[in-house]
């Protein structure tokens, strides 16, 4: 059976260490050969999808994130959170959640958020007497917020593959992202009181105002994205370009986190990331074309209806599948492997594609901190020199919270759909 061959080859080649674009490309070629499907139109389909202005926003947002990570923006956001959250028990933990949310709303990458915030906040929390496992847990879990709040790189890719409105996806991620942040803050406050974490001193009002003014240029980037896109002034790609320029100017001339000679290095890194993404998307599109031509989505719909699965049962099964895949695959591989199969199935089963996008990305959030392949686990283990087991122990309470939030997002669709319907109309 071609599907069985595909999954066997996919996991085997992935285990061998081949890049994901080669794995997808080889498996797609094998499926076309086994099923004798014609390749006519596949190349043109790939070119048409890659020739997408929206896809160009990915390297630009990556560029903006890199400028801000090395340019002092992350430290300014941490200082802003510290200024207004002092006086609470465990306030550095709350500062971590808030800072990660703010930084994620700028860079759109969970790994970049965990790396930037971990570098700054982990030494500070350990110095103040917080258990290292707790510090690692709250930083790693809060970093995952970057994958669902705008401008999420995963939602951009979802919009391209599933042919959905990226601005609508961005708006849909706001309330679920805030729910996740609120759940983390409540747990931090409870755990801080239970384990008697230190209380950070409240700063005088004048110092708060000074730090807020100092952080205003850092907050300029998300303002450009939000006002530009939802004010109808710019497209997603133009907003990404403006955010990259603003991040470069703010980092270079205001926070002075790096010299202008390093600018080309940042641009080159972003271009390399873009090239890698393009190759992966091209291979995934070939696989998606085979899926569409094979009739697999139609058979999946018929199978679901024949077995009497309701919408909630279908979503439960998909969540279990995605959680299992998250144990072995990284975010992009999961999205590009599963989405071409599921996207055509959603509407016949009564699932809104926008709602499903947030369910999907939240599952990928969990995958980022889920053993054994969670990228945020390895990022934190690397910057802290801590055993991976210690990182996992710190993550576990937040992993449970993420599963609870996943249940709410899945079965309370109004949480996801309220803002998109309000902003763009139902």
pLDDT, tens digit (0-9, with 9 covering 90-100), for 34-69 = 766 666 666 666 666 666 666 677 777 777 777 777
Rounded to a whole number of angstroms, the CA Rg of the chain reads: 22
Helices (H), 18-109: 20-35, 42-50, 57-70, 73-85, 91-107
Query: Chain-wide mean pLDDT for the chain?
Result: 78
Tell me the C-alpha to C-alpha distance, in Å, between residue 20 and each of 280, 321, 333.
7, 20, 7
Choose between 298 and 265: higher pLDDT. Answer: 265
pLDDT of 216 strictly over 90: no
Q: 373 and 329 in contact (C-beta within 8 Å)?
A: yes
Q: 119 and 135 in contact (C-beta within 8 Å)?
A: no
pTM recorded for the entire structure: 0.77
pLDDT in tens, 68-104: 777 777 778 777 777 777 777 778 888 888 888 877 7
pLDDT in tens, 334-357: 777 777 777 777 887 788 999 999
In the chain, where the domains are located? 2-424
Tell me the C-alpha to C-alpha distance, in Å, between residue 146 and each of 72, 89, 415.
18, 26, 18
State residue 1's pLDDT score.
Answer: 47
pLDDT of 136 strictly over 80: yes
Helix (H, G, I), strand (E, B) or coil at 19: coil
State residue 57's pLDDT score.
Answer: 74
- CA pair distance 139, 114, nearest whole angstrom: 6
% residues pLDDT > 70 (the chain): 79
- CA pair distance 307, 295, nearest whole angstrom: 19
């Amino acid at each position: 059976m071609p599907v069985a061959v595909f999954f066997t080859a996919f996991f085997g080649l992935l285990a061998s260490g081949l890049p994901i674009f080669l794995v997808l490309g080889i498996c797609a070629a094998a499926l076309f050969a086994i099923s004798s499907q014609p390749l006519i139109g596949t190349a043109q389909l790939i070119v048409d999808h890659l020739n997408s202005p929206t896809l160009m926003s990915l390297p630009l947002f990556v560029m903006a994130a890199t400028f801000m990570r090395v340019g002092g923006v992350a430290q300014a956001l941490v200082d802003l959170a510290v200024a207004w959250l002092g006086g609470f028990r465990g306030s550095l933990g709350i500062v971590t959640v808030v800072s990660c949310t703010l930084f994620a709303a700028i860079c759109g990458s969970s790994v970049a958020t965990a790396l930037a915030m971990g570098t700054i906040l982990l030494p500070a929390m350990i110095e103040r007497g917080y258990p290292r496992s707790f510090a690692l847990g709250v930083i790693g879990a809060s970093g995952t917020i970057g994958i669902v709040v705008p401008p999420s790189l995963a939602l951009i890719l979802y919009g391209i593959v599933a042919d959905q409105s990226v601005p609508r996806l961005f708006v849909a991620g706001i309330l679920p992202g805030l729910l996740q942040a609120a759940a983390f803050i409540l747990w931090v406050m409870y755990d801080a009181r239970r384990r008697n974490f230190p209380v950070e001193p409240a700063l005088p009002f004048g110092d708060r105002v000074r730090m807020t003014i100092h952080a205003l240029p850092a907050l300029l980037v998300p303002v450009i994205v939000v006002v530009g896109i939802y004010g109808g002034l710019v497209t997603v790609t133009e907003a990404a370009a403006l955010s990259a320029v603003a991040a470069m100017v703010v980092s270079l001339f205001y926070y002075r986190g790096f010299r202008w000679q390093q600018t080309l290095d940042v641009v080159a890194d972003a271009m390399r990331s873009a090239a890698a993404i393009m190759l992966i998307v091209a291979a995934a599109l070939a696989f998606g074309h085979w899926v569409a031509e094979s009739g697999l989505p139609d058979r999946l719909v018929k199978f679901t209806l024949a077995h009497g699965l309701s919408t909630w049962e279908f979503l439960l099964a998909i969540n279990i599948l995605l959680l299992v895949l998250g144990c072995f695959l990284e975010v992009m591989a999961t999205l590009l492997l599963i989405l071409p199969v599921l996207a055509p199935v959603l509407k016949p089963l009564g699932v809104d594609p926008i709602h499903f996008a947030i369910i999907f990305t939240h599952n990928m959030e969990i995958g980022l901190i889920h053993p054994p392949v969670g990228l945020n686990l390895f990022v934190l283990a690397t910057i802290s020199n801590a055993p991976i087991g210690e990182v996992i122990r710190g993550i576990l309470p937040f992993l449970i919270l993420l599963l609870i939030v996943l249940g709410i997002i899945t079965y309370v669709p109004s949480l996801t759909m309220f803002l998109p319907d309000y902003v763009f109309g139902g």
